[in-house]
């Protein structure tokens, strides 16, 4: 018998949407939340500005189907950090599970993460590995495997983002205590938040198993290029340096690496991307 079948977990699922999301992908994402072997108590969908009629209809159907859904509407598109901060503020549960509108959680995701937290109550943030697929979710492209212990995550975070954002389950009070996601528009708002938590002494872990299937591909590489994104990335790197998490040499090396990657030819970026993923 499933011990979670009759009791919901003290978790709020936080899922932001905006006008560019697809209704079909949102449906698949919400179906994966509904199918969890351990159910969350609340689902907060933050509507970041006006959305299409198709998305509105999809939200309306799901709100009738799942009474635990609560919609937070922002009058204009303010970007992911503002949408996530609004969701964190609105959450009623002590734990928050991140999901994106185009990803699919494995049915045992919440159960596995919650069981880990029961064994390790000192942990304030827990993520997992991911499997990356094409946009149709038919072909697996790669996996992103990350360090699992706190010590390894702490070291890794000085060079790269230590969590797959769409897999993370974190304590609401911990996130609020460090100011939440950055208020300024940056590139890598989640990376800034993770370093804030680690710098403040909160303990972290990753489950060594892919608990979320992610739509990936080369389109992301093409979108996040050029001087515009580089300037936003500089801002996030400076925030991390300013808080004291980066030493001066971390900061200098980060700037050099990220400048090179953002401005180098796409073919070379694709090669680097493949090296950083495990097929």
Separation of alpha carbons 184 and 248, rounded Å: 22
Burial degree of 130 (CB within 10 A; 0-12, 13-18, 19+)? buried
Contacts of 189 (CB under 8 A, 6+ apart): 80, 81, 84, 181, 182, 236
**Residue 13 in contact with residue 30, Cβ under 8 Å?**
no
Instruction: Give the single-character DSSP code of 167.
Output: G
Separation of alpha carbons 194 and 22, rounded Å: 28
Q: Helices in 157-207 by DSSP H: which ranges?
A: 172-177, 189-199
Report all structural domains of the chain as residue ranges with CATH numbers, in order of start: 7-101 (3.90.550.10)
Of 94, 97, 146, 84, nearest in space to 121 by CA: 94
pTM as predicted: 0.90
Separation of alpha carbons 137 and 214, rounded Å: 8
Q: Where are the beta strands (DSSP E) in the chain?
A: 9-17, 40-48, 69-74, 95-98, 104-105, 123-133, 140-144, 169-171, 203-215
Separation of alpha carbons 114 and 121, rounded Å: 10
Tens-digit pLDDT string for the chain (279 aa)? 556 556 899 999 999 999 999 999 999 999 999 999 999 999 999 999 999 999 999 999 999 999 999 999 999 999 999 999 999 999 999 999 999 999 999 999 999 999 999 999 999 999 999 999 999 999 999 999 999 999 999 999 999 999 999 999 999 999 999 999 998 888 789 999 999 999 999 999 999 999 999 998 655 555 555 677 778 888 999 999 999 999 998 989 988 887 877 776 666 656 665 665 554
């Amino acid at each position: 018998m499933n011990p979670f079948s009759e009791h919901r977990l003290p978790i709020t699922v936080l899922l932001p949407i905006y006008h560019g999301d697809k209704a079909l992908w949102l449906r698949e994402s919400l179906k994966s939340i509904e199918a969890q072997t351990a159910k969350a108590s609340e689902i907060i969908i933050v509507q970041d500005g006006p959305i299409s009629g198709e998305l509105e209809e999809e939200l309306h159907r799901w709100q009738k189907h799942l009474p635990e859904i609560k919609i937070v509407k922002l009058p204009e598109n303010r970007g992911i950090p503002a949408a996530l901060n609004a969701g964190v503020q609105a959450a009623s549960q002590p734990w928050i599970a991140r999901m994106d509108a185009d990803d699919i959680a494995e049915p045992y995701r919440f159960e596995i993460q919650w069981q880990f937290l029961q064994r390790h109550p000192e942990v304030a943030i827990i993520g997992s590995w991911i499997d990356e697929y094409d946009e149709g979710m038919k072909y697996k492209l790669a996996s992103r495997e990350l360090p699992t212990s706190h010590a390894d995550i702490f070291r890794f975070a000085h060079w790269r983002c230590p969590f797959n954002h769409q897999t993370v389950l974190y304590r609401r009070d911990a996130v609020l205590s460090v100011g939440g996601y950055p208020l300024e528009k940056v590139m890598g708002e989640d990376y800034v938040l993770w370093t804030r938590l680690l710098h403040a002494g909160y303990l972290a872990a990753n489950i060594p198993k892919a608990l979320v299937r992610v739509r990936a591909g080369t389109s992301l590489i093409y979108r996040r290029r050029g001087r515009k994104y580089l300037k936003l990335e500089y801002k996030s790197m400076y925030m991390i340096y300013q808080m004291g998490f980066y030493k001066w040499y971390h900061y200098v090396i980060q700037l050099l690496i990220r400048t090179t990657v953002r401005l180098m030819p796409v073919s070379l970026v694709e090669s680097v991307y493949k090296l950083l993923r495990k097929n």
